[in-house]
Amino acid sequence: MKEILYKCTRTDLEFLSEILDSYASLTDDKKRKALLAASIDNPQAHEELIELMDQQIRYYGSSDVAWLKRMAFGEDGWVESDEVINDVCKRRKVKIKVGTPLEAKLEALAKAIAHQELCRMDPVNLCERLRKEGVDNQKVDRIIEHLKANGPVAILPVLYRFAGPEITFAIIEAAIIRVMSVTIGKEAAKHLLAELVKRNPWLATLVPFVGPLLSGGAAAWLAYDIQSPAFRKTEPICMYLGVVALRDGLMFPVEPGPDEP
């Protein structure tokens, strides 16, 4: 996970550190918090923080029994990053091709979860909101035409094609935060959404897509049974790191339509 953690902003690391907090685990939360505070102006502390957070994420990908067994035999207690991501993808029913690089797996997870959420809402309402926020009327009409003809199939590539990468990425980010609210709690999700809306003020008008969390009136959009304490950590972390990975450049294989050059 380290290559993705290095891409995280200060706000990202603070948020991930909060998710990693636990009073019933074998992680060293006190050390992580100390390194987080020291890392503001200390490159060495930042390196140590990334290393420790990587280990703690991978620790949560394994049971305490398995962790202790590995340690007893002189092995690393934590599992590999790929295993953590694969387990989350399997639990979320997201199919990933064998051999997919770690960062691409995280991106695929984030896009798949966002797609699932968009399929649960009224896409026409979303399009009308996009129109009000300045997306070209002709482009919004093309999105609506596609949705009426095909349903929500490939809705993200269609949004990317006609609304642009910036708006599509912001919608993906908001959708991920919506899903994460189930595990991280409404207040933490509201904080993340507030940061998101600072960068994309128009998102605040996408009711009911984002509005309910900001108003404090929503409980959870996704009824999902999370039985394992480890998944309460690894699921939101992997989803969020998927969003971080997508910041480098959101891409979809988009083919021109028959009436386009």
pLDDT of residue 138: 87
C-alpha–C-alpha distance, residues 19 and 12, integer Å = 11
pLDDT of residue 110: 95
Mean pLDDT for all residues in the chain: 79
Q: Region 179-198: what's the mean pLDDT?
A: 78
Is 232:154 a contact under the CB 8 Å cutoff?
Answer: no
State both tokens at 227.
């039985």
Pick the closest to residue 11 from 168, 184, 167, 196 (CA basis): 196
Pick the closest to residue 228 from 102, 61, 98 (CA basis): 61
C-alpha–C-alpha distance, residues 242 and 106, integer Å = 4
Q: Nearest-5° angle of CA 26, CA 28, CA 29?
A: 115
Q: How much of the chain, in percent, has pLDDT values that exceed 70?
A: 78
Is 16:8 a contact under the CB 8 Å cutoff?
Answer: yes
Q: Region 138-143: what's the mean pLDDT?
A: 87
Is 185:169 a contact under the CB 8 Å cutoff?
Answer: no
The residues, any chain, with a CB within 8 Å of residue 74's CB and separated by 6 or more, are none
Looking at residue 250, its amino acid is: L
Q: How confident is the model at residue 217 (pLDDT cuts 50, 70, 90)?
A: very low
User: Residue 2: is it exposed, middle or buried by C-beta count within 10 angstroms (0-12/13-18/19+)?
Assistant: middle
Q: What is the pLDDT of residues 86-104, one digit of tens each?
A: 989 998 999 998 889 999 9
Q: What is the pLDDT of residues 171-183, one digit of tens each?
A: 898 888 888 887 7
Q: Region 224-229: what's the mean pLDDT?
A: 43
The predicted model scores a pTM of: 0.80
Is 80:98 a contact under the CB 8 Å cutoff?
Answer: no
C-alpha–C-alpha distance, residues 218 and 74, integer Å = 47
Q: Which helix (H) or strand (E) holds 238?
A: helix 231-246
Q: Which residue has the higher pLDDT, 61 or 112?
A: 112
State both tokens at 219.
């409980």
